[in-house]
Structure 1
Amino acid sequence: MFNLFKKKKPEAKTNPFLPLKVREVVRETPDTVTLYFEQPEPILDYSPGQFLTLVMEFDGKEQRRSYSLCTSPFVDPFPGISVKKVAGGLFSNFLNEKIFPGKTINVLKPMGNFTTEFHSKNQRHFIMIAGGSGITPIMGILKSALINEPKSKVTLLYCSRNEEQIIFKDALEKLVMDYPGRLETIHVLSQPEMGWSGVTGRITKDLIQSQVKQAEAEQDFDAEYFVCGPEGIMDLSVQVLEDLSVAKEKIHRESFYSSAADQAQHEAAGNTSGLTREVAVVLEGEEYQVTVSPDKTILESGLAQDLDMPYSCQSGLCTACRGRLLSGEVKMDEDAGLSDKEKADGYILCCVSRPLTDDVKVTIE
């Protein structure tokens, strides 16, 4: 029986990468740098809180990593990302140690839903909760809110290890002075040095509750919540908000890591008893047949067959690999990157999707 489905890599109609030249490298903390890029032509169009996916080659293999933009298009003349070193991090170590002004890096267009619209007539109280590098996207949103909404105010709960590890410490202090009465920053240090007079330990349930109850009790402000950081802080924050009956649409969260997707990937790696299925993938108007074994996702299998499928985080947290399910059923290891409406409309994330039936067909939009 002849296979009538094409398996060769489709010809790219447009170059998906945007080359950005590094303009400046700023050392924020001993293990974090901010890279500011020259504005391309036309200028980079992004919303505060979105991320860039960097595409680089290591040992002859293309790798991708996503980093949140820490800048505001309403305030900052040049877009920038902040990168914190992680143990064994391929990108983070390279960007912290070997990047220099003049270096050009290929990126994908800005993506992400961790953002909001701004209007000068809004009167909101932004409650922002961050831990470590989770301050990165929040910084762009914070600056945008202050400049665009003169009637709004911001309260930031920010957990760091010690004073030396506070990313954007000087910038935050300046913003507090520039916007008196409109920005309150509460630093929480888990391992402070001698002489620290602020909050110590970790962001607790009681601390979050007190801020939320105060914000919800204000008659003149509409409270809105943004959370980004380690899973523990995020889960605790969202749980407190839900327990206090905060409307779901007022809660925004951005994850850098998914333990659920990681655990599912680990379990799938040893799966030899499941079924291998054929999945139809519609890419740029052409249909391809992809063989998906039980230890692989649709994206992994498509890339292995040289299909130029879009992707970024590969953890189910962004929407770069989003596709619409035309038929069949899939299991997603993680779906935090999709809104309830997107899921109701049949969208899936190919990087964490595994076919459950033999009739799965996905179109990449």
Structure 2
Amino acid sequence: MFNLFKKKKEENHLGDKYLSLKVREVVKETEDTVSIFFEQPEPFLEYKPGQYLTVILDIQGKEVRRSYSLCTSPFTDPHPGITVKRVNNGLVSNFLNDHIRPGKTLEIMKPLGNFTCDFHSKNKKHFVMVAGGSGITPIMGILKSALINEPNSKITLIYCNRSEEQIIFHKALNQLEDIYAGRLIVIHNLSQPSSNWKGLKGRLDASKLKDTLESIHYPELDQIQYFICGPEGLMNTTVSTLESLGIDDNQIIKESFYTDIEAKEEALKSAGKLAPELSREIEVVLEGETYHFEVPAGKTILEAGLDHDVDMPYSCQSGLCTACRGRLISGKVDMIEDAGLSASEIEQGYILCCSSKPASSDVKIKIE
């Protein structure tokens, strides 16, 4: 990816999938949210707008990993950055908010993720973006990239929060609206606003969303694409509303930060859609090495691999990212959650090891 910005050399201590990044700046976005910007490594960090980094920390002697979306654009921002919002009892999010300062070095996995798109200067596209809370993070990078790369495209952002104080990137969004007047419209919706709030109020239900979408129309644009990221309720409401309006699935790109994988597994069990839970021997090919190990009944492929000291890559452990992605060479697996994979990846035989359990005795997986 072409990059105009000056790079600083950083030593890479880990394998090909990992990097050490030095913190350049920490910006407090709201009372419970910070953005962490990094010095550019050498070679520079290649990523697509909307992708995420996996942060690897040692907290109280235990390795923990969490995925955080990049809030920056490789086309406009000289330094890559992630935005981290505190989560109640969140081990890593609270640690990053409280203890990360400029000069510190963080270990990461290189950027991954399918919540992105390609850009072309000749496109005439309407980007419709619906975000809630920290769901603005990946959308911010996509938004800035579209504005700079597609001068004939326009963007409508519907951004939901609890109150004015909770709006992440509030100042930056206002500045972008001024710079790109006529091309960027930001519509804020607050569920618990102050008494003098003039914008949309209450939860974003189907009726309000439909009215908002139908009020903005650009007949001169020949494409429309929807990006959705936020709490599960907001995403479900948005997707169902778009479906009721006849929007094709191919036009909708969504990113979820949360899934109840245990509830999904119980539902699949109740429906009789899962194979009997048995201990099975499997084969995993990782970085040219072949490993054979047993996956005990009830455990995922990733859990068993880590138990056998196989250094399998992973991050979210809930099927939402693709850090643990592998290609199923033979056999069958039950994949409880596949939200991190695109339809084409699933067709090509890719699985997520963190949410998959062997369903036959001839399972062979190549980690890619």
Same fold (TM over 0.5): yes
Contact 2:14 2:20 in 1 (8 A): no
In structure 1, distance between residues paired with 2:155 and 2:14: 44
What SS class does the counterpart of residue 82 from structure 2 fall into?
Answer: strand
Give the Cα separation in 2 of the matches to 1:283 and 1:63: 21
Report the Cα distance in structure 1 between the residues aligned to 2:186 and 2:36, rounded to whole angstroms. 24
Structure 1, gaps ≥5 residues long: 1-11
Which structure's relative contact order is higher, taking Cα pairs within 8 Å and 6+ residues apart? 1
2:309 counterpart of 1:309: no
Give the CA deviation at 1:310. Answer: 1.1
Aligned position for 2:93? 92
Residue 274 of structure 1 pairs with residue 277 of structure 2? yes
- Alpha-carbon deviation of 1:33? 0.4
What percent identity do the matched residue pairs reach? Answer: 58
* Counterpart residue type for residue 165 of structure 2: E
Partner Cα separation in structure 2 for residue 143 and residue 30 of structure 1: 24
Instruction: Rate the CA distance shift 1:267–1:253 in 2: closer, same or farther, 3 A.
Output: closer
Distance in structure 1 (CA, Å) of the matches to 2:207 and 2:222: 22
3-state secondary structure, aligned to 1:150: coil
What does residue 133 of structure 2 align with? 132
Q: CA deviation at 1:183?
A: 0.8
In the other structure, the counterpart of 1:286 is 289
Question: How many residues in Structure 1 have an aligned counterpart in Structure 2?
Answer: 350
What is the rounded CA distance, in whole Å, between the counterparts of 1:83 and 1:92 in structure 2? 6
Q: Deviations over 1:81-128 (max 9, x none)?
A: 110000111111011111100000011111111111111111111100
Aligned match of 2:351 in 348, 351, 358?
A: 348
Is residue 328 of structure 2 the alignment partner of residue 328 of structure 1? no
Q: How far apart are the structure 2 equivalents of 1:317 and 1:263?
A: 15
Q: 1:220 offset after TM fit, Å?
A: 2.8
Deviation at 1:282, TM superposition (A): 1.6
Q: CA RMSD in A?
A: 2.0
Partner of 2:63: 62
Amino acid at match of 1:23: R
The 1:267–1:99 alpha-carbon spacing in structure 2 relative to 1, beyond 3 Å, is: farther
Q: Which residue in 2 is equivalent to 1:4? A: none
Q: 1:100-249 to 2 correspondence within 5 Å?
A: 100-213=101-214, 218-249=219-250
**Pairing 1:263–2:263 present:** yes
Task: Report the 3-state secondary structure (helix = DSSP H, G, I; strand = E; otherwise coil) of the residue aligned with 1:242.
Answer: helix
Q: Which SS does the other structure have where 2:298 is aligned?
A: coil
In 2, the alpha carbon distance for the partners of 1:27 and 1:128 equals: 24
Q: Give the whole-Å Cα distance in 1 for the aligned partners of 2:127 and 2:182.
A: 13
What is the deviation of 1:295? Answer: 2.1
Structure 1 counterpart SS, 2:66: strand
C-alpha separation between the residues in 1 aligned to 2:281 and 2:245? 46
TM-score for both structures, normalised by structure 2: 0.91
Q: Supply the AA of the counterpart residue of 1:60.
A: G
Closer/same/farther in 2, CA of residues 238 and 102 from structure 1, 3 Å limit: same
TM-score, scaled relative to structure 1: 0.91
SS class of match (2:365): strand
Mapped to 2, the partners of 1:236 and 1:49 lie a distance apart of 22
